[in-house]
Structure 1
Amino acid sequence: MTTLRSRIDTSSEVFQRNAEAFEGKRQIIAEARAAAIAGGDARAHRRHAERGKLTARRRVVELLDPGTPFMEIGQLAGHDVYDEPVPSAALITGIGVVGGRPVMVFANDATVKGGTYFPLTVQKHLRAQKIARENGLPCVYLVDSGGIYLPLQEDLFPDEYHLGRIFRNIAELSALGLPQIAAVMGSCTAGGAYIPAMCDEAVIVRGNGTIFLGGPQLVRAATGEVVDAETLGGADLHTRVTGVADHLAENDEHALELVRDIVRRTGPGTVSAPPRSPRPPLYDPAELPGILSADLREPIAAREILARLLDGSEFAEYRARYGPTLVCGTGHVGGYPVGVVINDGVLFPESAQKGANFIELCAQRDIPLLFLHNINGFMVGAEYEADGIAKHGAKLVNAVSCAKVPKFSLVVGGSFGAGNFAMCGRSMGPRLMAMWPNAKSTAVGAEQTATVMALIRGDQLAKEGKTLSAEEEESIKRPIIETYERQSHPLYYAARLWVDAVVDPTDTREWLTLCLATAADAPQQETRFGVFRM
Structure 2
Amino acid sequence: MTILQSEITVGSEVFETNKKALLAQIEEVRAVQQKGVERSYAAKAKFEKRGKILPYERVRLLLDADSPFVELCGLVGYNMHDDKDGSDAGGGIISGIGFVNGVRCLVTASNSAIKGGTMAPMGVHKTLRLQQIAMKQKLPIVTLAESGGANLNYAAEVFTHGGTTFANQARMSAMGIPQISVVHGNATAGGAYQPGLSDYVITVRKQTEMLLAGPPLLLAATGEVATAEELGGAEMHAQVAGTAEYLAENDADGIRLAREIFEHLNWKEQTQSLEVDYKEPRYSAEELLGIIPSDPKQPLDMKEIIARIVDDSDFFEFKGEYDSHTVCGWSKIGGLHIGIITNNGPITPQGAAKAAQFIHLCEQTRRPLLFLHNTTGFMVGTDAEQNGIIKHGSKLIQAVANTTVPKISIIAHGSYGAGNYAMCGRPLGPDFIFAWPNSHVAVMGAAQAGKVLRIVAEGKQKASGMEPNEQMLDFLEQSTAAKLESQSTALFNTAMLHDDGIIDPRDTRKVLIFLLETIYEAENRDLNPTRFGVSRF
Fold shared, TM-score > 0.5 on shorter chain: yes
The aligned counterpart of 1:258 is 257
The aligned counterpart of 1:154 is 156
The aligned counterpart of 2:90 is 88
The aligned counterpart of 2:420 is 420
The aligned counterpart of 1:134 is 136
The aligned counterpart of 2:288 is 288
Query: Following TM superposition, by how much is the alpha carbon of 1:467 offset from its aligned partner in structure 2, in angstroms?
Result: 3.3
* Match status 1:364 vs 2:364: yes
Q: Deviations over 1:235-254 (max 9, x none)?
A: 11111100011100001111
Q: Measure, in 2, the Cα distance between the counterparts of 1:173 and 1:81.
A: 30
Q: Measure, in 2, the Cα distance between the counterparts of 1:208 and 1:27.
A: 38
User: Over the residues paired in the alignment, what is the CA RMSD in angstroms?
Assistant: 1.5
Q: Measure, in 2, the Cα distance between the counterparts of 1:457 and 1:239.
A: 68
Query: Following TM superposition, by how much is the alpha carbon of 1:273 offset from its aligned partner in structure 2, in angstroms?
Result: 5.0
The aligned counterpart of 2:532 is none
Query: Following TM superposition, by how much is the alpha carbon of 1:275 offset from its aligned partner in structure 2, in angstroms?
Result: 5.7
Listed as ranges, the matches of 1:30-429 within 5 Å are: 30-40=30-40, 42=42, 44-84=43-83, 85-158=87-160, 162-269=161-268, 274=274, 276-429=276-429
Q: Measure, in 2, the Cα distance between the counterparts of 1:275 and 1:209.
A: 42
Query: Following TM superposition, by how much is the alpha carbon of 1:41 offset from its aligned partner in structure 2, in angstroms?
Result: 6.7
Q: Measure, in 2, the Cα distance between the counterparts of 1:122 and 1:29.
A: 23
Query: Following TM superposition, by how much is the alpha carbon of 1:97 offset from its aligned partner in structure 2, in angstroms?
Result: 1.0
Counterpart residue type for residue 150 of structure 1: L
Instruction: Check whether the contact 1:35–1:87 (CA below 8 A) recurs between aligned residues.
Output: no
TM-score (norm 2): 0.94
Q: Deviations over 1:328-353 (max 9, x none)?
A: 11111122221110111111111101
Counterpart residue type for residue 484 of structure 1: L
SS in 2 for 1:374: strand
Could you tell me the percent identity over the aligned residues?
Answer: 39
Instruction: Check whether the contact 2:41–2:113 (CA below 8 A) recurs between aligned residues.
Output: yes
Instruction: Check whether the contact 2:121–2:154 (CA below 8 A) recurs between aligned residues.
Output: yes
Q: Measure, in 2, the Cα distance between the counterparts of 1:240 and 1:516.
A: 43
SS in 2 for 1:83: coil
Instruction: Check whether the contact 2:166–2:197 (CA below 8 A) recurs between aligned residues.
Output: yes
Q: Measure, in 2, the Cα distance between the counterparts of 1:197 and 1:244.
A: 7
Q: 1:67 to 1:153 in 2, by over 3 A?
A: same
Q: Measure, in 1, the Cα distance between the counterparts of 2:462 and 2:374.
A: 37
Q: Measure, in 2, the Cα distance between the counterparts of 1:6 and 1:148.
A: 52
Instruction: Check whether the contact 2:281–2:311 (CA below 8 A) recurs between aligned residues.
Output: yes
Q: Which moved more, 1:240-249 or 1:336-345?
A: 336-345
Instruction: Check whether the contact 2:182–2:203 (CA below 8 A) recurs between aligned residues.
Output: yes
Q: Measure, in 2, the Cα distance between the counterparts of 1:95 and 1:483.
A: 35
SS in 1 for 2:143: strand
Instruction: Check whether the contact 1:93–1:125 (CA below 8 A) recurs between aligned residues.
Output: no
SS in 1 for 2:122: helix
Counterpart residue type for residue 110 of structure 2: N
Q: Measure, in 1, the Cα distance between the counterparts of 2:379 and 2:227.
A: 67
Q: Which moved more, 1:122-131 or 1:8-17?
A: 8-17
Q: Deviations over 1:111-165 (max 9, x none)?
A: 111011211111111111110000111111111011111121110113xxx1111
Q: Measure, in 2, the Cα distance between the counterparts of 1:37 and 1:491.
A: 17
Counterpart residue type for residue 290 of structure 1: G
Counterpart residue type for residue 135 of structure 1: Q
Q: Deviations over 1:38-75 (max 9, x none)?
A: 34372x33322211111111111111122211111011
Q: Deviations over 1:218-267 (max 9, x none)?
A: 11221233322112110111111000111000011111111111112121
Instruction: Check whether the contact 1:346–1:377 (CA below 8 A) recurs between aligned residues.
Output: yes
Structure 2: gaps of 5 or more residues: 526-537
Counterpart residue type for residue 127 of structure 1: R
* Match status 1:437 vs 2:441: no
Counterpart residue type for residue 151 of structure 2: Y
Query: Following TM superposition, by how much is the alpha carbon of 1:22 offset from its aligned partner in structure 2, in angstroms?
Result: 1.4
Q: 1:178 to 1:113 in 2, by over 3 A?
A: same
Instruction: Check whether the contact 1:108–1:143 (CA below 8 A) recurs between aligned residues.
Output: yes
* Match status 1:23 vs 2:26: no
Q: Measure, in 2, the Cα distance between the counterparts of 1:38 and 1:367.
A: 42
Please identify runs of 4+ aligned residues in structure 1 that moved more than 4 A: 270-275
Q: Measure, in 2, the Cα distance between the counterparts of 1:202 and 1:447.
A: 54
Counterpart residue type for residue 155 of structure 1: E
**Aligned residue-pair number:** 521
Q: 1:282 to 1:414 in 2, by over 3 A?
A: same
Structure 1: gaps of 5 or more residues: 526-534
SS in 1 for 2:5: coil
Listed as ranges, the matches of 1:382-531 within 5 Å are: 382-523=382-523
Q: Measure, in 1, the Cα distance between the counterparts of 2:428 and 2:89.
A: 28
Q: Measure, in 2, the Cα distance between the counterparts of 1:262 and 1:491.
A: 37
Instruction: Check whether the contact 1:134–1:523 (CA below 8 A) recurs between aligned residues.
Output: no
